[in-house]
Structure 1
Amino acid sequence: MTVNPDLKDRLCRAIDAPGRPSSDYDLNPDTVLSEGRKLRHAGVLIAISDAPQPHVWLTKRSPRLKHHPGQVAFPGGKLEPQVDRDVTDAALREAEEEIGLPRARVDLLGTLPPHETVTGFTVTPVIGLVAGAFAPRPELGEVAEVFTVPLAHLLDPDSYRIERRRWRGDWRAYYTVPWGPYYVWGATARMLRALADRMGA
């Protein structure tokens, strides 16, 4: 089974569109960043299926995890130089481990500019299409739930809100893109907003 060629073409044009890297600081211009800061590399997979309608696969992290428990995230993780060739390889490896998505099922289209997080990572969003039906198998030690959100919802700028909360003593603004019972926010929402901006350009 093949994916919708029109969707693939639109995504490829969005990937090729000019744009700058994003960050958790985009809505907080007064943040002062250290020029000597060292960022760890990571890759996340924006896996898009098109049956019956285009949708994006997301995970809800296990509440037992030490970092970001219970948060919504893309499958993905940090680059492991011993096993990963690059951040794309890291994203595919983690997607296979976390949700059981075989890398052979993913039609890789390219990457968006990296996203810097407040936790010290530079995260590369990897765009891939998944043809046909896919039954996820969550890795229960890390993933509490795997779900999808319609791509149309994520590409609509009106789906996004800006909210604020205190973080390390300061107020920080961030994007959210809620869907049903799922609260998608922070870096995940910002990277989705970057894709939405490119698709609408």
Structure 2
Amino acid sequence: MTRHAAPAPDPRPAVPLTPDLVREAVLRGRRGASSDFDLNPHVVRPDAPAAPLRQAGVLCALVDRDDGAGLRVVLTRRADHLRKHAGQVAFPGGGFEAGDASLLHAALREADEEIGLSPDAVDVVGEIDGHETVTGFSVTPFVGFIDAGFVARPDPGEVAEVFEPPLAFLMNPANHLRESRLYQGQRRFFYAMPWEGRYIWGATARMLVGLSERIASVAADDELGG
């Protein structure tokens, strides 16, 4: 793996990441999905995929633990024995199944199964910009708030660990690293946000970058208007 230069620190003063600011950023509507190919224009994208992209829904759950860190994001590290994406950091969520009423239903169902987060315990704000992966998924993330008393109960068959990095860390452009590695003879670039020994990267990191851009846009508009 190759680490490239980190983005320059943002010279603007940090904006308090309040629930109201996050809600406003989410409710502005989708701007368009990102893709693994955005950072890799040199990689040839098939004109016609062998199969349609599989739809998936994930939950970006935000919680304030009253510990002075502000809002935190609930993330999981997938179990090491899984056949696909073993050990990788992800939002709770998963693929759309026949019994799901919607992608939001899929995200909430999987969050319940993976970490014991009841759908009734989530104050869902809305969806943000999705992401298309080179592995054939179209992922739609939903943002929601959960109570400070939530205690994760990870399913050991799917989840090795549940952890909660501060939203302020993940939204800071100075922490949005661009890294790369060789894959099938080609260098592939991706975002990464290493935090306390956990490696947040790929689609999860890209969707967090998209949320960061939304929040920054809302904060800038508020500053100009105020």
Q: TM-score range by the shorter chain?
A: over 0.9
Q: Which residue of 2 aligns with 1:39?
A: 53
Unaligned runs of 5+ in 2: 1-16, 218-226
Task: Please tell me whether residue 21 in structure 1 is matched to residue 33 in structure 2.
Answer: yes
Amino acid at match of 1:56: V
Deviation at 1:18, TM superposition (A): 5.8
| Superposition TM-score, scaled by structure 2 size | 0.83
Q: Which residue of 1 aligns with 2:220?
A: none
Aligned residue among 131, 134, 137 for 1:121: 137
Greater shift after overlay, 24-33 or 156-165? 24-33
Q: Which residue of 2 aligns with 1:145?
A: 161
Amino acid at match of 1:84: D
Give the whole-Å Cα distance in 1 for the aligned partners of 2:65 and 2:162: 17
**Maintained 8 Å contact 2:29/2:128:** no
Instruction: Rate the CA distance shift 1:135–1:151 in 2: closer, same or farther, 3 A.
Output: same
Give the whole-Å Cα distance in 2 for the aligned partners of 1:135 and 1:49: 11
Deviation at 1:11, TM superposition (A): 1.7
Give the whole-Å Cα distance in 1 for the aligned partners of 2:184 and 2:23: 38
Q: Which residue of 2 aligns with 1:50?
A: 64
Give the whole-Å Cα distance in 2 for the aligned partners of 1:118 and 1:17: 25
Deviations 1:121-173 (A, max 9, x none): 00001111112311000000010011100010011010110001012221100
Q: Which residue of 2 aligns with 1:70?
A: 87
Give the whole-Å Cα distance in 1 for the aligned partners of 2:165 and 2:214: 18
Amino acid at match of 1:108: V
Q: Which residue of 1 aligns with 2:7?
A: none
Greater shift after overlay, 107-116 or 23-32? 23-32
SS in 1 for 2:194: coil
Task: Please tell me whether residue 9 in structure 1 is matched to residue 30 in structure 2.
Answer: no
Aligned residues: 195
Amino acid at match of 2:128: L
Deviation at 1:17, TM superposition (A): 5.2
| Superposition TM-score, scaled by structure 1 size | 0.93
SS in 1 for 2:215: helix
Deviations 1:24-83 (A, max 9, x none): 1221122332232210000110000022121000001110000011111111100002x1
Give the whole-Å Cα distance in 1 for the aligned partners of 2:86 and 2:190: 18
**Maintained 8 Å contact 2:30/2:128:** no
Give the whole-Å Cα distance in 2 for the aligned partners of 1:18 and 1:186: 20
**Maintained 8 Å contact 2:30/2:127:** no
**Maintained 8 Å contact 1:17/1:198:** no
Unaligned runs of 5+ in 1: 1-5
Greater Rg by CA: 2
**Maintained 8 Å contact 1:105/1:130:** yes
SS in 1 for 2:22: helix
Greater shift after overlay, 118-127 or 163-172? 163-172
SS in 1 for 2:210: helix
Q: Cα RMSD (Å) of the superposition?
A: 1.3
**Maintained 8 Å contact 1:99/1:137:** yes
SS in 2 for 1:178: strand
Greater shift after overlay, 8-17 or 127-136? 8-17
Q: Which residue of 1 aligns with 2:11?
A: none
Give the whole-Å Cα distance in 2 for the aligned partners of 1:114 and 1:17: 12
SS in 2 for 1:184: strand
Greater shift after overlay, 145-154 or 45-54? 45-54
